[in-house]
Amino acid sequence: MMVSMKTADVIIIGGGLIGCAIARSLAKENLSVMVLDKQQPGLEASRAAAGMLSPQSETDSPDQFFRLCMASRDLYSDFAAAISEESGVDVEYRTDGTVVLAFNEDQAQVLVGRAAWQQAEGLNVEVLSAEDACVMSPAITPEIQSALFVPDDHQINNRKLTSAVTIAAARAGAEIRTGHPVDQILSKGNRATGLRVNGQQIECGTIINAAGCWAGLIESVIRPSTIPVRGQMIALRSSSPIVDHVIHTPGCYIVPRLDGRIIIGSTTEHAGFDKSNTAAGVTGLLSAAVEAVPDFAQLPIDEMWAGLRPGTLDGLPLLGRAESSGVENLIFATGHYKNGILLTPITALLITEMIMGGNIPPTHQKWLREFRPDRFTASTADSLVGTR
- Chunked into runs of 10 residues, the chain (388 residues) has average pLDDT values of 66 97 98 95 94 96 96 98 98 98 98 97 98 97 98 98 98 96 91 90 93 94 91 97 97 98 97 98 98 98 98 96 85 97 98 94 96 72 39
Structure confidence at residue 355 (pLDDT): 95
Structure confidence at residue 381 (pLDDT): 42
Q: How far is residue 364's CA from residue 253's CA, in Å, rounded to a whole number?
A: 31
Structure confidence at residue 43 (pLDDT): 92
Instruction: Tell me the DSSP string of 39-57.
Output: SSTT-SHHHHS--EE-HHH
Cα separation values, 335 from 94, 184, 331, 373, Å: 26, 19, 13, 9
Structure confidence at residue 221 (pLDDT): 87
Residue-wise pLDDT for 216-225, tens only, equals 999 998 888 8
Give every CB contact of residue 135 below 8 A, 6+ residues apart in sequence: none
Structure confidence at residue 373 (pLDDT): 92
Task: Count, in order, helices (H) and strands (E) of the chain.
Answer: 11, 18
In the chain, residues under CATH classification 3.30.9.10 are 93-155+228-311
Architecture of the domain whose range is 3-48+160-225+314-385: 3-Layer(bba) Sandwich (3.50)
Structure confidence at residue 386 (pLDDT): 38
Structure confidence at residue 5 (pLDDT): 59
Whole-prediction pTM: 0.94
Q: How far is residue 192's CA from residue 317's CA, in Å, rounded to a whole number?
A: 22
Task: Count other Cβ atoms within 10 Å, centred on residue 171.
Answer: 13
Categorise residue 64: left if φ over 0, alpha if ψ from -120 to 50, beta otherwise. Answer: alpha
Helices 158-172 and 64-87 pack at an angle, to 10 degrees, of 70
Structure confidence at residue 310 (pLDDT): 97
Structure confidence at residue 223 (pLDDT): 86
Fold classification of 93-155+228-311 is D-Amino Acid Oxidase; Chain A, domain 2 (3.30.9)
In the chain, residues under CATH classification 3.50.50.60 are 3-48+160-225+314-385
